[in-house]
């Protein structure tokens, strides 16, 4: 799942989700400064306007805060991050399940298979 995402989705949404993941993975921590729009554009190979739109969207949701003249920063509001975490979790699950169903797997197979898998690997619970 290095970067599972419907490539047909709007680029600014792809970018949005990628950044959300970076936050969840800890690559970006609360209070961290995001790359400038220009940097991000170059690094991601997309148009600066697209990056701009992504940042605006994230600002609207509350994930990041923009400080004029300083840059864009990951919010430190726990509630918002928690909410984002929940939202993304459901999005990932939805994507996973729908993909599996498209390949013909039944609900039971998915749930059973996942249970078996989880019982066989050490979880992040105990880490």
Binding residues (CB under 7 A) for DNA: these are 8, 10-13, 34, 36-39, 46-50, 52-53, 55-56, 59, 66, 68-72
**Distance from C-alpha of 1 to C-alpha of 86, rounded to nearest angstrom:** 18
Query: One symbol per residue from 64 to 103: x for binding its own copies (CB under 8 A), - otherwise; what is it?
Result: ---------------------x--xxx-xxxxxxxxxxxx
Pick from its own copies, DNA, none: which does 70 bind, CB < 5 to 8 A by kind?
Answer: DNA
Which of 25, 45, 67, 69 binds its own copies (CB under 8 A)? It is 25
Q: Where are the beta strands (DSSP E) in the chain?
A: 64-67, 71-74
**35: which DSSP letter?**
P
Instruction: Compare residues 55 and 81 and give the one whose CB is closer to DNA.
Output: 55
Instruction: Compare residues 35 and 61 and give the one whose CB is closer to its own copies.
Output: 61
CA dihedral 60, 23, 38, 54 (to 10 degrees): -30
Cα dist from 3 to 70, 84, 106, whole Å = 30, 18, 25
Query: One symbol per residue from 47 to 66: x for binding its own copies (CB under 8 A), - otherwise; what is it?
Result: -------------x------
**Burial classification of residue 21, based on how many CB atoms lie within 10 Å of its CB (0-12 exposed, 13-18 middle, 19 or more buried):** middle
Stretch that binds its own copies, among 5-13, 29-37, 38-46, 69-77 (CB under 8 A): 5-13
């Amino acid at each position: 799942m290095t970067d599972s995402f419907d490539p047909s989705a709007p680029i600014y949404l792809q970018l949005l989700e990628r950044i959300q993941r970076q936050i969840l993975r800890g690559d970006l921590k609360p209070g961290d400064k995001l790359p400038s729009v220009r940097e991000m554009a170059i690094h991601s190979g997309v148009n600066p306007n697209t990056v701009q739109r992504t940042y605006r969207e994230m600002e609207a949701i509350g994930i990041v805060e923009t400080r004029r003249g300083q840059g864009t920063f990951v919010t430190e509001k726990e509630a918002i991050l928690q909410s984002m975490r929940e939202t993304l979790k459901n999005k990932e699950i939805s994507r996973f399940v729908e993909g599996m169903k498209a390949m013909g797997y039944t609900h039971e197979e998915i749930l059973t298979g996942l249970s078996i898998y989880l019982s066989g690997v050490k979880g992040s619970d105990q880490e």
